[in-house]
């Protein structure tokens, strides 16, 4: 039962600061670039870096605490993608690059997911070929959250020897097809057609897998924040809305639904702590636990978000009212990395038999 | 810190790392649990009294039979985590399940509220397993609404005269004593007229009738009280305070209805069965559809177990928030037992259909079983565990409790 459960005093301070920032930010209307400068200033981009890489010597727990708070307010800037996924990949493969990330000067994003990958990080169809002093890449990377903000991409590609390497492609070097997710978060696909790239590592699969495991868990923490707000909005609605001459929270059918939403929310919080524990222990069950974490939170988020809308009635499906925005982001979370179904299958392949 | 395993040596467990403690428990089980007993308990679903009494005595010699009791009454001084580790290890190893009514329910109440005479007489016999207890709470018209109970105790000189009926009384047919909630007053709120009483089941006027459950087994009973004269010194604490004592007793055990140990045992057994079941020549465990459903349930168990760890850590840190934690653990824990039971039954396919009468099988397997030997007890356990979501406050009542902490009334 050695799992870390209670936050340290320092983590409580970070959490409170992130909560205040998120609450104020909701009203400020600042754009993502301005938000990013504030992330750097607040130290959130270096929080998990070791001291000798210019960081605050924390770990993914600290990232998760901040991500949950950002999730509560549906903050769109790609905090997890940069401060967790790209940061963990670089920490393993090119730690000298991290000072510029921590300062906010560089905003790298991992471009790894491809159509048909099914959540399996070892499935890569993008090809890398040596060309003169450097390399060129061919393929398409998809669903890159926050892509319009990126200053560069960390692109995985298969090299002629069959290994998966990691390459850097400057923003603007490939063709970035920008779009919005249905939850209105900016994203993009990176189309690579003989695109010049710089080699970071010729054998990067282990580092990429670790980084994505971290993404599974910390994005889950973010989704817990999203879910938490959906739940609180619903609870408040049951405590104020009147029909048939009484608060609708007095109807037992609705009470039991709310109880089930609360159970799912609490299970999600718990499984995130278990996922973080597995990342820090880095034992043989790490990837299985990260997948389990994503599955549990995604399915719980779908339920809590959908029932949040249902218990609100008509107002729940309007653009004007926030509960639907939270539902959208929870569904988007569920669909990333092959979708929760693909992650169940991954877990099924990794579980102890 | 002393780590001696000598009997009667006081061991300080408070600073012992969990993994060290787990090993200590495993070593004890390896040295003391007979193989045939473990084999019997792995396939049983109702307790077998001789094993229970023997194993309780064995644990008592080691000072481990009453983990939840205060140290001054013989408790070992374990942390809450250590208690959970112990529960899991003994369950998965196939140790006889200790009877909870004496050891974890009435024992702590007597420790806190009993008279010196009650403590001196009862506590040693509970610790050693010499006296087995039943719990007389539910009545035909007081199930989830327990405070509506009507079984009456009227003072008559230095005795109470008890009349009424209790129901769903687990293990009453082989218990020596029963602890009861009885009505001693009709004044005021219904909770305010209830007293907590200890009754010797050999007292004249008590009739015990078996209730056979849908698995064909006998664990439950009805108990009838016809002018039963109970010495007044068998009242626990003050008259009309029984409801308060009972509530406190249940709060003490708030994390022990999570059933995680049972889920782990079920997952292990489902996997074993699914390796043996062949569908058109291929082991079921290799079927992707089955594997995904198993994975889905295992993920639910992982999350549920993590909730238990969270709650235990919070309890040990002295944080008891307003969150309705015991209800969450009970609802999810019991529902997972039922879902896992259904998948286990499904994994057997037609081999799950034969009826195995427990009494014919639990001491030794017959030469010619009606089906696969690993199918033993699966359907019966599945049937009996429907009771989990009903007893201890039905899951609907638990959801009322959860909602009650979240909503304005």
pLDDT by residue (tens digit) across A98-137?
Answer: 999 999 999 999 999 999 999 999 999 999 999 999 999 9
pLDDT tier at B215 (50, 70, 90 boundaries)?
very high
Q: Which of B305, B406, B409 to mutate to test the interface with A (most CBs of A within 10 A)?
A: B406
CATH number at residue A115: 2.40.110.10
pLDDT at B3: 40
pLDDT tier at A1 (50, 70, 90 boundaries)?
low
Selecting from A252, A259, A353 the residue whose C-beta is nearest the C-beta of B402 gives A259
Residue A208's contacts (CB-CB under 8 Å, 6 or more residues apart) are A89, A110, A112, A121, A156, A164, A166
The last residue of one of the domains, among A168, A186, A203, is A203
Instruction: Report pTM.
Output: 0.94
Query: Are B18 and A2 within 8 A, CB to CB?
Result: yes
Asked whether A88 and A110 are in contact (CB, 8 A), the reply is no
Q: Which of B285, B303, B331 to mutate to test the interface with A (most CBs of A within 10 A)?
A: B303
Question: Contacts of residue B284 in chain A, CB cutoff 8 Å?
Answer: none
Query: Are A271 and B302 within 8 A, CB to CB?
Result: yes
Query: Are B399 and A259 within 8 A, CB to CB?
Result: yes
Query: Are B304 and A274 within 8 A, CB to CB?
Result: no
Alpha-carbon distance of B24 to B20, in angstroms, equals 6
CATH number at residue A290: 1.20.140.10
The answer as to whether A165 is a domain residue is: yes
H or E stretch at B345: helix B325-348
Q: Are residues A58 and A187 in the same domain?
A: no
Is pLDDT at B4 greater than 60 in this prediction? no
The answer as to whether A159 is a domain residue is: yes
pLDDT at B1: 36
* Tokens of residue A37, six digits: 């400068």
Residue B408 in contact with partner chain A when CB distance is under 8 A: yes
Residue B242's contacts (CB-CB under 8 Å, 6 or more residues apart) are B181, B182, B184, B194, B195, B196, B197, B236
Is pLDDT at A322 greater than 90 in this prediction? yes
Instruction: Quote the domain boundaries for residue A134.
Output: 109-203
The answer as to whether A4 is a domain residue is: no
Q: Are residues A282 and A211 in the same domain?
A: yes
Is pLDDT at A158 greater than 80 in this prediction? yes
Is pLDDT at B250 greater than 90 in this prediction? no
Question: Contacts of residue B88 in chain A, CB cutoff 8 Å?
Answer: none
pLDDT at B204: 98
The answer as to whether A296 is a domain residue is: yes
**What percentage of chain B exceeds 70 in pLDDT?**
95
Q: Are residues A120 and A254 in the same domain?
A: no
The answer as to whether A96 is a domain residue is: yes
Query: Are A263 and B302 within 8 A, CB to CB?
Result: no
**What percentage of chain A exceeds 90 in pLDDT?**
94
Is pLDDT at A346 greater than 70 in this prediction? yes
In 3D space, the residue among A84, A81, A85, A140 whose CA is nearest the CA of residue A113 turns out to be A140
Q: Are residues A89 and A156 in the same domain?
A: no
Is pLDDT at B409 greater than 80 in this prediction? no
pLDDT at B9: 59
pLDDT at B231: 98
pLDDT, average across residues B261-283: 96
Question: Contacts of residue B144 in chain A, CB cutoff 8 Å?
Answer: none
Query: Are A255 and B399 within 8 A, CB to CB?
Result: yes
pLDDT at B2: 38
Residue B271 in contact with partner chain A when CB distance is under 8 A: yes
How many A×B Cβ pairs under 8 Å?
A: 122
Smallest CA–CA distance from B294 into chain A, residue: A348
Question: Contacts of residue B408 in chain A, CB cutoff 8 Å?
Answer: 239, 247, 249
User: What domains does chain B contain, in order, with CATH numbers?
Assistant: 18-98 (no CATH), 133-240 (2.40.110.10), 254-406 (1.20.140.10)
The answer as to whether A193 is a domain residue is: yes
Annotated active-site residue B253? The verdict is yes
Q: Are residues A133 and A171 in the same domain?
A: yes
Strands A186-201 and A164-170: antiparallel
Asked whether A109 and A143 are in contact (CB, 8 A), the reply is no
pLDDT at B87: 95
The last residue of one of the domains, among A203, A225, A253, is A203
Selecting from A3, A255, A267 the residue whose C-beta is nearest the C-beta of B403 gives A255
Question: SS3 letters for chain A?
Answer: CCCCCCCCHHHHHHHHHHHHHHHHHHHHCCCHHHHHHHHHHHCCCCCCCCHHHCCCCCCHHHHHHHHHHHHHCCCCCCHHHHHHHHHHHHHHHCHHHHHHHHCCCCCEEEECCCCCCCCCCCCCCCEEEEECCEEEEEEEEEEEECHHHCCEEEEEEECCCCCEEEEEEECCCCEEEEEECCCCCEEEEEEEEEEEEEEEECCCHHHHHHHHHHHHHHHHHHHHHHHHHHHHHHHHHHCCCEECCEEHHHCHHHHHHHHHHHHHHHHHHHHHHHHHHHHHHCCCCHHHHHHHHHHHHHHHHHHHHHHHHHHHHHHHHCCCCCHHHHHHHHHHHHHCCCHHHHHHHHHHHHCCC
Query: Are B303 and A267 within 8 A, CB to CB?
Result: yes
Selecting from B84, B332, B408 the residue whose C-beta is nearest the C-beta of A1 gives B84
Residue that has been written with the tokens 């003994």 in this structure: B90
**Predicted confidence (pLDDT) per residue in B96-134, tens digit:** 999 999 999 999 999 999 999 999 999 999 999 999 999
pLDDT at B387: 95
Q: Are residues A66 and A39 in the same domain?
A: yes
Q: Are residues A342 and A250 in the same domain?
A: yes
Residue B409 Cα, gap to closest chain A Cα (Å):
7
Alpha-carbon distance of A161 to A180, in angstroms, equals 36
Alpha-carbon distance of A318 to A325, in angstroms, equals 9
Is pLDDT at B17 greater than 70 in this prediction? yes
Phi/psi of residue A191, each to 5°?
Answer: -100, 120
Q: Are residues A132 and A188 in the same domain?
A: yes
Selecting from A262, A266, A351 the residue whose C-beta is nearest the C-beta of B298 gives A351
CATH number at residue A25: 1.10.540.10
Q: Are residues A102 and A113 in the same domain?
A: no
The last residue of one of the domains, among A77, A106, A135, is A106
Is pLDDT at B159 greater than 70 in this prediction? yes
Chain B residues 332-361 with CB within 8 Å of chain A:
332
Q: Are residues A342 and A226 in the same domain?
A: yes
In 3D space, the residue among A97, A277, A342, A301 whose CA is nearest the CA of residue A201 turns out to be A97
Q: Are residues A18 and A115 in the same domain?
A: no
Q: The complex's ipTM? A: 0.95
Query: Are A255 and B328 within 8 A, CB to CB?
Result: no
When the pLDDT of each residue in chain B is averaged and rounded to a whole number, the result is 92
Q: Are residues A274 and A343 in the same domain?
A: yes
pLDDT at B322: 58
Number of domains in chain A: 3
Chain A residues 217-246 with CB within 8 Å of chain B:
235, 238-239
**Predicted confidence (pLDDT) per residue in B298-342, tens digit:** 999 999 999 999 998 888 888 866 578 889 999 999 999 999 999
Residue A191 Cα, gap to closest chain B Cα (Å):
34
The answer as to whether A2 is a domain residue is: no
Min mean pLDDT across A231-245, B39-53, B163-177 is at B39-53
Interhelix angle B80-93/B260-276, nearest 10 degrees: 30
Question: Contacts of residue B330 in chain A, CB cutoff 8 Å?
Answer: none
pLDDT at B6: 42
Smallest CA–CA distance from B290 into chain A, residue: A348
Residue B309 in contact with partner chain A when CB distance is under 8 A: yes
Min mean pLDDT across A23-37, A44-58, B143-157, B310-324 is at B310-324
Residue A302 in contact with partner chain B when CB distance is under 8 A: no
DSSP B232: G
pLDDT, average across residues B139-168: 96
Selected catalytic residue, list B253, B314, B335, B346: B253
Question: Contacts of residue B277 in chain A, CB cutoff 8 Å?
Answer: none
Residue A17's contacts (CB-CB under 8 Å, 6 or more residues apart) are A42
Is pLDDT at B10 greater than 70 in this prediction? no
Is pLDDT at B362 greater than 80 in this prediction? no
* Tokens of residue B358, six digits: 């427990």
Residue A1 in contact with partner chain B when CB distance is under 8 A: yes
The answer as to whether A3 is a domain residue is: no
Selecting from B299, B317, B403 the residue whose C-beta is nearest the C-beta of A296 gives B299
Residue B258 in contact with partner chain A when CB distance is under 8 A: no
């Amino acid at each position: 039962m050695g799992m870390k459960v209670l936050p340290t005093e320092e983590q409580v301070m970070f959490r409170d600061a992130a909560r205040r920032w998120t609450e104020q930010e909701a009203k400020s209307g600042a754009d993502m670039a301005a938000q990013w400068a504030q992330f750097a200033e607040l130290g959130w981009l270096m929080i998990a870096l070791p001291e000798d890489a210019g960081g605050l010597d924390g770990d993914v727990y600290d990232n998760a605490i901040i991500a949950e708070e950002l999730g509560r307010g549906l903050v769109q800037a790609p905090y997890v993608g940069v401060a967790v996924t790209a940061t963990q990949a670089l920490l393993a493969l090119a730690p000298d690059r991290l000072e510029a990330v921590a300062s906010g000067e560089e905003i790298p994003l991992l471009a790894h997911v491809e159509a048909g990958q099914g959540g399996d990080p070892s499935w890569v169809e993008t090809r890398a070929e040596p060309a003169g002093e450097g390399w060129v890449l061919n393929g398409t990377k998809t669903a890159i959250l926050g892509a319009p903000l990126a200053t560069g991409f960390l692109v995985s590609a298969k090299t002629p020897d069959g290994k998966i390497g990691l390459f850097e492609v400057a923003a603007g070097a490939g063709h970035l097809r920008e779009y919005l997710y249905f939850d209105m978060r900016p994203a993009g696909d990176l189309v690579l057609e003989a695109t010049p790239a710089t080699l970071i590592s010729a054998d990067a699969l282990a580092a990429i897998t670790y980084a994505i495991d971290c993404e599974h868990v910390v994005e889950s923490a973010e989704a817990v924040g999203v879910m938490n707000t959906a739940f609180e909005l619903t609870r408040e609605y049951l405590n104020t809305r009147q029909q048939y001459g009484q608060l609708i929270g007095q109807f037992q059918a609705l009470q039991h639904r709310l109880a089930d939403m609360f159970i799912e929310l609490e299970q999600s919080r718990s499984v995130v702590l278990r996922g973080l524990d597995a990342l820090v222990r880095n034992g043989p069950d790490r990837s299985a636990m990260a997948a389990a974490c994503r599955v549990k939170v995604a399915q719980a988020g779908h339920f809590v978000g959908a029932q949040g809308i249902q218990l609100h009635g008509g107002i729940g499906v309007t653009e004007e009212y926030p509960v639907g925005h939270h539902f959208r982001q929870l569904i988007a979370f569920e669909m990333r990395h092959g979708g929760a179904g693909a992650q169940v299958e991954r877990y099924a392949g990794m579980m102890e038999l | 810190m002393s780590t001696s395993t000598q009997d009667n040596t006081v061991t300080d467990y408070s600073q012992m790392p969990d993994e060290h403690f787990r090993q200590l428990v495993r070593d004890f089980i390896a040295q003391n649990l007979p193989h045939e007993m473990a084999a019997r308990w792995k396939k049983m679903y109702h307790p077998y009294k001789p094993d229970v009494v023997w194993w309780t005595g064995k644990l008592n010699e080691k000072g481990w039979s009453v983990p939840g009791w205060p140290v001054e009454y013989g408790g070992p001084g374990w942390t809450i985590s250590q208690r959970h580790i112990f529960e899991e290890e003994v369950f998965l190893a196939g140790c006889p399940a200790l009877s909870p009514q004496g050891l974890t329910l009435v024992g702590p109440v007597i420790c806190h509220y009993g008279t010196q005479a009650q403590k001196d007489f009862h506590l040693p016999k509970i610790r050693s397993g010499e006296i087995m207890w039943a719990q007389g709470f539910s009545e035909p018209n007081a199930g989830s609404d327990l405070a509506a109970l009507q079984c009456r105790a009227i003072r008559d000189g230095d005795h109470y005269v008890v009349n009424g009926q209790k129901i769903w009384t687990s293990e009453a047919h082989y218990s020596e004593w029963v602890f009861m909630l009885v009505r001693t007053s009709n004044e005021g709120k219904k909770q305010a007229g209830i007293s907590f009483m200890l009754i010797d089941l050999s007292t004249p006027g008590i009739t015990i009738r078996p209730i056979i459950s849908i698995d064909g087994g006998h664990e439950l009973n009805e108990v009838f009280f016809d002018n039963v004269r109970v010495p007044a010194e068998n009242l626990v604490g003050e008259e009309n305070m029984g409801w308060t004592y009972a509530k406190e007793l249940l709060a003490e055990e708030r994390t022990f209805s999570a059933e995680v140990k049972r889920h782990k045992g079920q997952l292990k057994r489902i996997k074993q069965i699914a390796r043996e079941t062949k569908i058109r020549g291929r082991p079921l465990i290799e079927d992707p559809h089955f594997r995904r459903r198993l994975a889905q349930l295992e993920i639910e168990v992982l999350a549920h177990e993590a909730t238990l760890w969270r709650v235990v850590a919070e309890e040990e840190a002295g944080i008891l928030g307003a969150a309705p934690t015991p209800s969450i653990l009970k609802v999810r824990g019991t529902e997972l037992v039922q879902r896992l039971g259904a998948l286990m039954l499904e994994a057997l396919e037609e081999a799950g259909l034969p009826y195995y009468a427990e009494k014919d099988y639990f001491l030794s397997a017959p030469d010619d079983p009606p089906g696969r030997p690993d199918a033993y007890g699966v359907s019966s356990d599945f049937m009996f565990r429907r009771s989990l979501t009903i007893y201890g406050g039905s899951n609907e009542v638990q959801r009322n409790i959860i909602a009650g902490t979240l909503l304005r009334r």
